[in-house]
Structure 1
Amino acid sequence: MTALSNLLTSLILAIWVVAIAILSVQNATPVSLRFLNFQSIQLPVGLVLAFSAGVGLIGMSLTQPLWGFAGSKSGTSESDNDLENEFFSEDD
């Protein structure tokens, strides 16, 4: 199962890299990004897109372990268990 998930992840990543490469070749027009009063130098659209995708991948890989810590509960209270039992009860 691990080999299949690794293959699927690699395949999806490869498709994204190819798509970014095609977009960068097709869109060589320089653009500059503006945010509030800040403005970047002029860069090709494909380079901006590749940089944004790379920052997004790195950012998600760094924040993903934090979601695991936030989602774990230290313990469940009795009221939570009562609500779950009431919701999943089998009344015929």
Structure 2
Amino acid sequence: MKKYETIFILHPSLDEEAFKSNVEKFKGVIENGGGVIENVDVWGKRKLAYEINKINEGYYTLINFSGDSKLPKELDRIFRITDTVIRHIIVKDEK
């Protein structure tokens, strides 16, 4: 199993409950795909480095996980079809 990390930014208009349910949804995708979550770091609402679609802040979350090579592709697909995700990135952890 390879190690990965993902950072995603959720829309700032979400309330606390909707934000938590989205994070749980993504954690569920990782766990149901055979992955193991090592760390979840919620950074909270922060200002974006640049404006995206007239939005200048969002909820940042970092998740470190390990899994097979198909898991990041599935997670990327879920990020793309979720309307509340502004931006996301998944990278292989080389540590």
TM-score (norm 1): 0.35
Which structure: greater helix fraction? Answer: 1
Q: Counting strand residues as a fraction of each chain, which structure ranks higher?
A: 2
The normalised TM-score by structure 2 is 0.34
Which gives a bigger RCO, structure 1 or 2 (Cα 8 Å, sep 6+)? Answer: 2
Structure showing greater Rg:
1
